[in-house]
Copies of this chain bind each other. A is one copy, B any other.
Amino acid sequence: MIESLVQLELGDRSYPILIESGLLSSGRTQVESSDVKFSVWSKLVEELRGRRGLIVVDENVAPLYLAMTQRLCVELGMVVDHCLLSAGEMTKSTSALQSIWDLCAERGHTRRSVIVAVGGGVIGDLAGFAAATYMRGLDWIQIPTTLMAQVDSSVGGKTGINLAAGKNLVGAFWQPRAVLIDPAVLSTLDARQYRAGLAEVVKYAVIMDEGFFDWLERRQSQILERDSQVLVELIARCCRLKAQVVGDDEREQSGRRAILNYGHTFGHALEAIVGYGKLLHGEAVACGMDLAMQTACELGHVNKDLVLRQRKLLQAFGLPVDWRVTSAAVGNDQVELVVQVIAAMTRDKKNDGRGVQLILPCALGRVESVNWPGNALIQRVLETSP
């Protein structure tokens, strides 16, 4: 498979997710080779030709992919300038947002301008939120450059920034006009970041697709070698699964989209305790999925084999599965940490008037939403976790 197309169906907000190895470097030159790409490309050119674009990029990605992105935009018929930001989670801030707004105004960008976000989740979330709000909403395009962004954060229209009080507290649902994914850019991705992205990949398999889980087990080595054909299929399968969920529940209203939180209630608690940045989001999610699966096992919803099977795959991908990695990072003793994790998991939802819901597997490829099973059970899971 040299390329794949996933369509996210959301009525007049529908958009294509085009996945092709070499997309960024080849641009138009390969268009003729494929009907799929040709149709997406032609529609984009029709929509974008003659419009101004603002590329938003950070200082890590710019040296690698800014020039290619500029060329791609020009081939799509746009006239582009760019906005260069610092790299890192700190950039998902009000001040960086304001700097994009001011720059848009200063350079005379209008409602017809297009924002092009090239980078990982931080840049995608921030630039998407700027697009959602400058002049009450601009069109935008995502070009994700991390595995995490390619399989997860670039699809679904969640945009936003962090506040001092917490992550993603401010934002908007604002769908891009297209997501352009080039797995070839992953060759330059740091190994730890790459592995962290695989945590979300495993998540999609566990919550929705047993066959995909089998496939991941069989393709382990090619995945770790970043084989580009395997990556096109891997990314396309994740995007297709996410597109189904988002198409059913764009704004997290029906509860359907909540299944994507598998491993995240535990994971967010671990991240919050360790301090964001020390434990990568994907690493926290890997530990969180192991804990969630153990919880499901403790409740009798799945058997021990499945706990071990998921753990084995996560470990094969070089991901941590023992939540006590957090202990090394903060130096607290384990008894205290258990209390902190439970406190962090139950804190957020208290004000909501509804209890904490956990997304737990009931079989491989299927999850359910389960009421908080009680602090004692969660404590036991944390204490006995291998």
Task: Report if A110-B251 is in contact (Cβ < 8 Å); known contacts: A101-B169, A135-B169.
Answer: no
Measured between beta carbons, the chain B residues less than 8 angstroms from A109 are 351
**Binary contact readout A151-192 vs B (1 if CB under 8 angstroms, 0 otherwise):** 000000010100111100111110000000000000000000
Instruction: Tell me the nearest residue of chain B to A97, going by C-beta.
Output: B94
Are A173 and B351 in contact, with the CB atoms below 8 A? Answer: no
A52 within 8 A of B: yes
| Complex Cα gap A133–B133 (Å) | 9
Measured between beta carbons, the chain B residues less than 8 angstroms from A129 are 133
Are B133 and A172 in contact, with the CB atoms below 8 A? Answer: yes
| Interface residue from B94, B251, B350 paired with A98 (Cβ < 8 Å) | B94
Measured between beta carbons, the chain B residues less than 8 angstroms from A170 are 101, 133-136
Could you tell me the distance in whole angstroms from the C-beta of A309 to the nearest C-beta in chain B?
35
| Interface residue from B101, B164, B172, B353 paired with A112 (Cβ < 8 Å) | B353
Copies of this chain: 2
Interface size on A, residues (CB 8 A): 38
Are A133 and B50 in contact, with the CB atoms below 8 A? Answer: no
| Interface residue from B50, B105, B351 paired with A169 (Cβ < 8 Å) | B105
Measured between beta carbons, the chain B residues less than 8 angstroms from A112 are 352-353
| Complex Cα gap A98–B94 (Å) | 8
| Complex Cα gap A164–B103 (Å) | 11
Are B172 and A158 in contact, with the CB atoms below 8 A? Answer: no
Could you tell me the distance in whole angstroms from the C-beta of A237 to the nearest C-beta in chain B?
27
For A105, A133, A173, which residue has the most chain B Cβ atoms within 10 angstroms?
A: A133
| Complex Cα gap A158–B52 (Å) | 24
A27 within 8 A of B: no
Measured between beta carbons, the chain B residues less than 8 angstroms from A132 are 172
Measured between beta carbons, the chain B residues less than 8 angstroms from A105 are 163-166, 169
Q: Which residues of A in the span 246-293 have a Cβ within 8 Å of any Cβ on B? A: 251
Instruction: Tell me the nearest residue of chain B to A157, going by C-beta.
Output: B136
Are B166 and A351 in contact, with the CB atoms below 8 A? Answer: no
